[in-house]
Chains A and B, each alone.
Chain A
Amino acid sequence: MHISNCQLTKSRPTMSTSSGSADDDQFPVGLRVLVVDDDPTCLMILYKMLLSCRYNATKCNRADVALSLLREKKSGFDIVLSDVHMPDMDGFKLLENIGLEMDLPVIMMSADDSKNVVMKGVTHGACDYLIKPVRIEALKNIWQHVVRKKKRENKDFEQSGSVEDGDRQQKTPDDADYSSSANEGSWRSSKRRKDEEDDTEERDDTSSQKKPRVVWSVDLHKQFVAAVNQLGIDKAFPKKILELMNVPGITRENVASHLQKYRIYLRRLSGQHQSGLSNSFMGSQEAPFGSMPSFNGLELQALAASGHISAQSLATLQAAAHGRSTTNSALSPLVDQRNLFSFESPKLHFGEGQQQICNNSTQMNLLHGIPANMEPKQLVANSVGGMMQGSRSNPLMVQMAQPYSRSQNESIGNYASRLPSTVGQPILSNGIANGVLGRSGLVENVGPVYNQVSQPSSIVDFSASRSEDLSGTGFSIGGSSVNSLISPKGVIQGDDSMEVKELRGEGASSDIFSDLHRHKSQDMSSRNVGLTFDVSQNMNVRGNPDVSSFLVQQSYLANQDTVNCWSSATGKELFSRGEERARSNEPITSQQLNARHTDDSFRLKAENFPETSNQNTLLPGHYDQEDLMSAIFKQQQGVENEFGFDGYSMDHLSA
């Protein structure tokens, strides 16, 4: 490098990058950033870099001070940058608190680039994860998280009653009330955005009726909690809960997915611990809710809760994750936050793990994206987003998680496949948000997901078998650990005719997509969608599980059949690719991906939405799947360039 006499112009992000003019022509100039780092040298450097990006930066070397600063001026900041390792408070804890209380996008930073940590960031809801030393280029793009989040929020509000939109069922005003005022606990608020959108629609109320959404109002939730407590959390099965609640208009699926989320939430409250997934997941097919022990704790649960990952998948994921490295329980927290209750979980059982979700590391992206992005929607409920870390929020993950109440959504598999993409590339380091997945919510997520994960191995563990509803949200496909991508072996049970067309790997993608579209409306009602993907081997959910889970979840939501097929194929593709990719790190890619995904996801959403007429679609459903998938694909395609989803001919994927 030749510094001497070179014209080194400081990059001014604002000038060049402000695409947005979202707020004003000057954007992102003046972006209000709070940077927290206990290391004074790093803090000073970051601060200076932010100033040089023409942001309105505030520095702080203690997490508690940061939190009080944020509380004092509730809307005084646009985004927070925080170090992971701090003496007074764990960075992840801070991240959660911020997410819950202020719902600001948070970017984590660390010199530690191990998948686990990144995944943890994702699952905890970080919208991006930067590896130190942080370069100024990475900081130049952080504004995207702010925009993305705002967009998501806007979407939520805009939609009022049109189911079409997919993720967000607009009913924001009503929903918002529920969500925000609910204060059931943090989960409520965290979900608020997402839930509003997704859940708000009462089944009957939704205008389009395409996918009726159950709105979990405060009262309804109270009844739910009462029923659960009466039965005992361990014995609380959706059917029984439904009976006890005795509320007309909600189905078992609704309850199931809600329960999933609730469980995740509870787990998160009781302390998240990363425990390998392996424990309960492994086999627990059936208890979607309960079985997700912890994908690293809550992560899986979150994923599962998000409704999409059936218990099985979760288990698998967990197991897988366990195998490799424990996934950071990032997932669960994220999920809880956002979608606690969007259980939609169609279960996807993924069979043979062929899919290798290799998200090694940057699964974080997935998670990150989700929480951040997802907000509005329930879909996001899966907030798997946490998983995605990395640069872009892992919307993917989240999206996937969205619990589709539809039973039909087995198609989670599809989403799962998407996850892998998120795995991606090292984008994390640069902080690219992985918001990949998720259309409305998802879309955003999808993007990030990719970014973060350097290795896309997202484990798509979708336990397709969701007869009851919920598929494990737990998938945390996250990071590299998910090696076994879901390879849908074929349609599994499920009454519906899942079109799971042999989910084979890549080749299936094109089929899947078409199937997806076709099947969207199909059998949503049938519960068990038969896709059971055996997630074989290593579902190292760890890193990527988040992503996967989200993806999976997404898939669930969308179409059972199609998604499944789709996801599986894609998933595999994605995941395997992810592995190969392993760190392509390009922050840029992630960004690109995100952008792409977003488009896709949105598109997908729309498509999917209409379909689920049958089930109570808690989640925007369908589209999620598609979005995820597309998102994943996109990412894959975009990012890695090598992912090569050649096989997939996704229309939306802009290869």
Chain B
Amino acid sequence: MHRRLASMRKSLLDQGFLDEQFIQLEELQDDSNPNFVEEIAASYYRDSARQMLNIDQALDKFPLDFTKLDNLMHQFKGSSSSIGAKKVKNESTQFQEYCRAGNAEGCRRTYRQLKKEYATLKKKLEAYFQLARQAGPLETASRPK
């Protein structure tokens, strides 16, 4: 079971969905907090959903307020990077660049892409955590305590 989990984790990392930060989170997990990473991910999805709503609203305005969008995305990026959502983070960065360039089309395009990545990651993480729960808390981050 943990082998499967490990290989899933590895694949997520290799494919660039997650980065080193995720591993750091796993390392923080311990007996006293066996589902720490999953809780963090849940918290992330809650907050980021709200943030994305704000971005959606801001993108609906005309003309676009790039500064505001940049700031909103900055927050989103911070959250995403803290859980190690690599691809999502990259899209955020791209989005911010378009904001600074005042490129509305670029922003929207990137944002669409970002949403896709976000949704993909969410699904993958759900599968991952499901497996992790089955494998047992100690397996997720095999660390001697």
A-to-B contact residues, CB < 8 Å = 1-10, 39-42, 44-45, 48-49, 52, 83, 85, 110-112, 132-136
Contact B79 A6 (CB under 8 A): no
Contact of B6 among A2, A9, A40 (CB under 8 A): A2
- B7 to chain A: closest CB distance in Å? 8
B134 at the interface (CB under 8 A from A): no
16 more A-B residue pairs beyond the given contacts A111-B78, A133-B21, A133-B81, with a C-beta to C-beta distance below 8 A: A3-B6, A4-B3, A4-B5, A4-B9, A8-B143, A9-B144, A10-B143, A39-B78, A41-B79, A44-B39, A49-B28, A85-B71, A85-B74, A111-B74, A132-B82, A134-B82
Contacts of B40 in A (CB 8 A): 41, 44-45
Could you say which of A7, A44, A112 has the most chain B C-beta atoms within 10 Å of its C-beta?
A: A44
Contact A8 B27 (CB under 8 A): yes
Contacts of A49 in B (CB 8 A): 24, 28
Contacts of B2 in A (CB 8 A): 4-5
B-to-A contact residues, CB < 8 Å = 2-3, 5-6, 9-10, 13, 20-21, 23-28, 30, 33, 36, 39-40, 43-44, 47, 71, 74-75, 77-79, 81-84, 139-144
Contacts of B143 in A (CB 8 A): 6-10
Contact B74 A112 (CB under 8 A): yes
Contact B142 A4 (CB under 8 A): yes
User: Please, could you name 30 A-B residue pairs with CB atoms under 8 Å apart, sorted by A?
Assistant: A3-B140, A4-B2, A4-B9, A4-B139, A4-B142, A6-B143, A8-B142, A8-B143, A39-B47, A39-B75, A40-B43, A41-B43, A41-B44, A41-B47, A41-B83, A45-B28, A48-B28, A48-B33, A48-B36, A49-B24, A85-B74, A85-B78, A110-B78, A111-B77, A111-B81, A132-B82, A133-B21, A133-B81, A135-B20, A135-B21
Considering the complex, give the chain A residue whose CB is closest to the CB of B32: A51
Q: What's the Cα separation between A3 and B144 when bound, in Å?
A: 12
Contact A3 B141 (CB under 8 A): yes
Chain B contact residues, majority secondary structure: helix
- A10 to chain B: closest CB distance in Å? 6
The verdict on A1 contacting B23 (CB below 8 Å), with A39-B82, A132-B78 known, is yes
Contacts of B141 in A (CB 8 A): 3, 8
Contacts of B84 in A (CB 8 A): 133
Contacts of A1 in B (CB 8 A): 10, 13, 20, 23
Could you say which of B5, B27, B74 has the most chain A C-beta atoms within 10 Å of its C-beta?
A: B27
Chain A contact residues, majority secondary structure: loop
Considering the complex, give the chain B residue whose CB is closest to the CB of A42: B82
Contact B81 A132 (CB under 8 A): yes
Q: What's the Cα separation between A8 and B143 when bound, in Å?
A: 5
Contacts of B27 in A (CB 8 A): 8, 10, 136
Contacts of B3 in A (CB 8 A): 4
Q: What's the Cα separation between A205 and B30 when bound, in Å?
A: 60
Q: What's the Cα separation between A57 and B118 when bound, in Å?
A: 31
Q: What's the Cα separation between A111 and B28 when bound, in Å?
A: 21
Considering the complex, give the chain A residue whose CB is closest to the CB of B30: A10
Contact B26 A3 (CB under 8 A): yes
Contact A52 B28 (CB under 8 A): yes
- B135 to chain A: closest CB distance in Å? 10
- A606 to chain B: closest CB distance in Å? 42
Contacts of B140 in A (CB 8 A): 3
Contact B43 A135 (CB under 8 A): no
- A452 to chain B: closest CB distance in Å? 19
- B32 to chain A: closest CB distance in Å? 9
Contacts of A3 in B (CB 8 A): 6, 9, 23, 26, 140-142
Contacts of A7 in B (CB 8 A): 142-144
The verdict on A42 contacting B6 (CB below 8 Å), with A3-B26, A3-B141 known, is no
- B5 to chain A: closest CB distance in Å? 7
- B10 to chain A: closest CB distance in Å? 7
Considering the complex, give the chain B residue whose CB is closest to the CB of A7: B144
By Cβ-Cβ distance, the 10 closest A-B pairs, closest first, are: A4-B6, A111-B78, A8-B143, A133-B81, A133-B21, A42-B82, A41-B44, A5-B142, A41-B43, A133-B82
Contacts of A6 in B (CB 8 A): 142-143
Could you say which of B13, B25, B39 has the most chain A C-beta atoms within 10 Å of its C-beta?
A: B25
Contacts of A45 in B (CB 8 A): 25, 28, 40, 82-83
Contacts of B75 in A (CB 8 A): 39, 85
- B100 to chain A: closest CB distance in Å? 10
Contact B144 A41 (CB under 8 A): no
Contact A40 B74 (CB under 8 A): no
Q: What's the Cα separation between A5 and B9 when bound, in Å?
A: 13
Contact A2 B10 (CB under 8 A): yes
Contacts of B144 in A (CB 8 A): 7, 9
- B88 to chain A: closest CB distance in Å? 12
Considering the complex, give the chain A residue whose CB is closest to the CB of B13: A1
Contacts of B33 in A (CB 8 A): 48
Q: What's the Cα separation between A133 and B21 when bound, in Å?
A: 7
Contact A44 B43 (CB under 8 A): yes
Q: What's the Cα separation between A3 and B78 when bound, in Å?
A: 25
Contacts of A112 in B (CB 8 A): 74
Contacts of B39 in A (CB 8 A): 44
Contact B82 A136 (CB under 8 A): no
The verdict on A40 contacting B47 (CB below 8 Å), with A3-B26, A4-B142, A9-B144 known, is yes
Q: What's the Cα separation between A133 and B92 when bound, in Å?
A: 14
Considering the complex, give the chain A residue whose CB is closest to the CB of B42: A41
Contacts of A85 in B (CB 8 A): 71, 74-75, 78
Could you say which of A1, A5, A10, A111 has the most chain B C-beta atoms within 10 Å of its C-beta?
A: A111
Contacts of B142 in A (CB 8 A): 3-8
- A56 to chain B: closest CB distance in Å? 16
- A50 to chain B: closest CB distance in Å? 10
- A54 to chain B: closest CB distance in Å? 13
Q: What's the Cα separation between A4 and B23 when bound, in Å?
A: 11
Q: What's the Cα separation between A135 and B21 when bound, in Å?
A: 7
Contacts of B79 in A (CB 8 A): 39, 41-42
Considering the complex, give the chain B residue whose CB is closest to the CB of A1: B23
Q: What's the Cα separation between A111 and B47 when bound, in Å?
A: 16
- A92 to chain B: closest CB distance in Å? 15
Q: What's the Cα separation between A40 and B25 when bound, in Å?
A: 15
- B110 to chain A: closest CB distance in Å? 17
Contacts of B139 in A (CB 8 A): 4
Contact A135 B82 (CB under 8 A): no
Q: What's the Cα separation between A42 and B30 when bound, in Å?
A: 18
Q: What's the Cα separation between A83 and B79 when bound, in Å?
A: 12
